[in-house]
Amino acid sequence: MFKKIILPCVAIVTIALLCLLAGCSKNETPTAVATTGTISGVVTDSAGGAAIAGAGIATSPATSSVTANTAGQFSITGVNAGTYTVTASKTGYNSKSVSVAVTAGNTATANIALAAGVPGNNAPNAPSSPSPADFATGQSTAPTLSWACTDPDAGDTLKYDVYFDTANPPATLVSSNQSATSLARSGLATSTIYYWKIVARDNHGSTTAGPVWQFTTTAGGTVSITWISIPAGNFTMGSLPGDPYAQTAEQPQHTVYLDAFQISKYEITNAQYKAFMDAGGYSNSAYWTTDGWNWRTTNSITQPYYWSSGQYNSGPSFPNHPVVGVSWYEAYAFCNWAGGRLPTEAQWEKAARGTDSSNYWPWGSTWDASKCNSYDNTAPDTFAYSSPVGFFATGTSPYGVYDMAGNVWEWVNDWYQSDYYSVSPSSNPQGPATGTSRVLRGGCFFNIDYLCRVVYRNNNPPDPRNFNNGIRIAQ
């Protein structure tokens, strides 16, 4: 019996000794988990790297305000997790801000180099009031970013740098030194988080970086699109010298550089547009511009104009014909839902013309009514209205894009301005910033030859739903 109980006793004694050695205690308090972090850094002179003592340090959102020590060092403890703008200021220097992300239990570094500046000048206030709102979801794939910003010094003017990326913090500078407090973006991916930041700069050179904001794009729709890749490079835009059909709005002819892009091989069909309708495209404001959504709701728009009647080969009974009876607003919403965008006017013309400046029509410099659906009704064109997309195989553009002459007019993204070619940038033009009409390209089934030229610029206000207006998508 004694031998049977001595081993357990030894085990108990051994465990007790181990607990004493390890510092075990029945009532021991668990180690506290850190819930805050620290911001620390050094303030230096940008000219020589010398430490700047006595620089004031403030954050947005506000934490503790501290002063850099004689070595230019500072530390702010007890900071809740999040993204902060840290601003250093010192008399005789331009204030400067940096953005840091603080996590619990860690130290975020904010080293700031100040440049000598105008005595007494205050840096701009931190940019605020972002749109889309910070952490917003279900956002458009072609949003307009906007923000608010002020300067504490009366009379100072502000410029902005915009950083935008899928990485946090955003490192891609998408606009520099702009005056406007808004910037349009397009062609964003669906179901993706985007990060953006504004750096404000006053006319004395003082800068303030705003916090990093983020939003998530809508999940978008599922629709099959056949894409044609258009390579980067130059092409000639506008009417040829000596073109007998030339319009003033098509001149002057000029060279344009475009980045690579993709455009749909065919015009958007009724079947593809029905997928947008079935997915709730007319009930989700995320796909629409603000003006477009207001127009849709005010007028109770729920489908293309001729959809129910089937007129002009519209509606589900004509699945492979191009959708018609759509406004620019509806065209924009469809492209947004499908994860693309309307092409710019320059992109459309390059896809139609190619790089041969002698091309009047997608196929070349000589009109041939058998190559497209136009007013001429030359065989094989036997269609009173639209033809199925891709029917005219011999009339493709140099890149293999179908129906860029005739069939239906195609909305593009640009506002219309008759003299835009005289002032447009030579690289990736986006069209005028404002306007009253949007551009349409390509001609339609009842147009004659000169209206089907690759350079002809038609325009309508964004709300008409004409029987000959359709859609082509880009990305």
What pLDDT score does 2 carry?
38
What pLDDT score does 60 carry?
84
| 3-class SS letters over the chain | CHHHHHHHHHHHHHHHHHHHHHCCCCCCCCCCCCCEEEEEEEEEECCCCCECCCCEEEEECCCCCEECCCCCEEEEEEEECEEEEEEEECCCECCEEEEEEECCCCEEECCEEECECCCCCCCCCCCEEEECCCCEEEECCCCEEEEECCCCCCCCCEEEEEEEECCCCCCCEEEEEECCCEEECCCCCCCCEEEEEEEEEECCCCEEECCCEEEEECCCCCCCCCEEEECCEEEEECCCCCCCCCCHHHCCCEEEEECCEEEECCCCEHHHHHHHHHCCCCCCHHHCCHHHHHHHHHCCCCCCCCCCCCHHHCCCCCCCCECCCCCHHHHHHHHHHCCCECCCHHHHHHHHHCCCCCCCECCECCCCHHHCCCCCCCCCCCCCCCCCCCCCHHHCCCCCCCCCCCCCEEEEEEECCCCHHHCCCCECCCCCCCCCCEEEECCCCCCCHHHHCCCCCEEECCCCCCCCEECCCEC
Q: Which domains does the chain have, with CATH numbers?
A: 37-114 (2.60.40.1120), 128-217 (2.60.40.10), 227-470 (3.90.1580.10)
What pLDDT score does 12 carry?
39
What pLDDT score does 189 carry?
83
What pLDDT score does 20 carry?
36
Nearest to 425 by CA among 246, 255, 195: 255
Q: Identity (one letter) of the amino acid at 464? A: P
d(CA 257, CA 461): 28
What pLDDT score does 275 carry?
95
pLDDT < 50 regions, the chain: 1-26
d(CA 159, CA 178): 5
What pLDDT score does 141 carry?
82
Residues in the chain: 475
What pLDDT score does 367 carry?
96
Q: How many angstroms from the chain centroid is the CA of residue 223?
A: 21
Burial 114-123 (b: 16+ CB within 10 A, else e): beebbeebbb
